Structure 1
Amino acid sequence: MEDNTKTRLSEHFTLEEMCRSGAAIKHHISNTPDKKQTERLRQLCLNVLEPLRRRFGVIRITSGFRSERLNAIVGGADTSQHMRGEAADIHISNMETGRKMYEYIEANLDFDQLLFEHSMSNGACWLHVSYKAVKGLNRHDAVPFYKAA
């Protein structure tokens, strides 16, 4: 299989960045999306991540695409949109920035799901955002305080 991870999905995001996973490396798991999943990642980048970057500057993706096997290893939901290439988790440097990003996405962007996730075990916080490329399917489901495992 050809390594296409250097593929640019949008101006500031690459396929490599959207597929990077320490868990995949540790467990020797392939985490390469197919063409449909790659196109969904591209739409997520173009419609959510690029506008967010224009507004807030550089953003770091901590989890993008996940293969089924990787998703199981990291404890992802059985129906996780990460496996379809429709979701990304975004690192937030502090609660205030996270709140501003959350409010910006909710008020200005088309999205399927937006979660301001808080880990009960280690206190970490991040934004989970998903996007469906098919017009009219995005639910705009926003949860400002979502307890993650």
Structure 2
Amino acid sequence: MEDNKMLSEHFSLEEMTRSGVAIRMRIDNNPDEEQVENMRQLCRNVLEPVRRRFGVTRITSGFRSQALNAAVGGAPDSQHLRGEAADLHISNMEVGRKVFDFIRLHTDFDQLLFERRIKGGYWWLHVSFTTRRPNRHQAMLDWR
């Protein structure tokens, strides 16, 4: 895999596949060409508009291989497995709300979840984009 390969103007294949869990557990997290193309579409259609509007956008979880998805407790049918989803770091609630609203109002997304783990006190945005079918534009809060 070409780690420095750019999927879009600001997002690289390396950042969309990077995983501390994969490194620690020595899990292969290399996507195939279809998964790379899915990541490219996600970056171009959703992540680039976010980057242009808000500046640096940090991906905390992008593509996940089957083994990595199982290791992090991901859903068995997670769009991360197809390269169709990314989780974005959110610095605080106000910024999260602004990014959430921007994606919801200005991009063609499939699923948008403003997720928060009350126990840990952290939050992130999960966003997906697909070309397999029309995007659902499903947006919701998921605070546990």
Please, what TM-score do these two structures have when normalized by structure 1? 0.94
CA distance in 1, matches of 2:119, 2:72: 15
Residue number in structure 2 paired with 1:17: 15
Contact in 2 for aligned 1:117/1:127 (Cα 8 Å): yes
Answering whether residue 116 of structure 2 is matched by residue 122 of structure 1, we say no
- Misfit runs of 4+, over 4 Å: none
Residue number in structure 2 paired with 1:7: 5
Measure how far apart 1:147 and its partner are.
2.8
Answering whether residue 142 of structure 2 is matched by residue 146 of structure 1, we say yes
Aligned residue runs from structure 1 range 47-62, under 5 A: 47-62=45-60
Q: What is the root-mean-square deviation in Å for CA atoms of aligned residues?
A: 1.0
Residue number in structure 2 paired with 1:80: 78
Please, what TM-score do these two structures have when normalized by structure 2? 0.97
Measure how far apart 1:45 and its partner are.
0.2
1:90-147 deviation line (CA, Å, top 9, x unaligned): 001110000000000101100000000001320110000000124x52000000x203
% identical equivalent positions: 60
CA distance in 1, matches of 2:87, 2:72: 13
Answering whether residue 29 of structure 2 is matched by residue 31 of structure 1, we say yes
Answering whether residue 92 of structure 2 is matched by residue 94 of structure 1, we say yes
Gap regions ≥5 residues in structure 1: none
Aligned residue runs from structure 1 range 105-120, under 5 A: 105-120=103-118
Gap regions ≥5 residues in structure 2: none
Q: Give the SS at the match of 2:49.
A: helix
After TM superposition, the structure 1 stretch with the greater mean CA deviation from structure 2, 41-50 or 118-127, is 118-127
Measure how far apart 1:33 and its partner are.
0.4
CA distance in 2, matches of 1:104, 1:122: 26
CA distance in 2, matches of 1:120, 1:31: 29
Letter paired with 1:146 = D
Instruction: Count residues in correspondence.
Output: 144
Letter paired with 1:139 = R
CA distance in 2, matches of 1:109, 1:49: 9
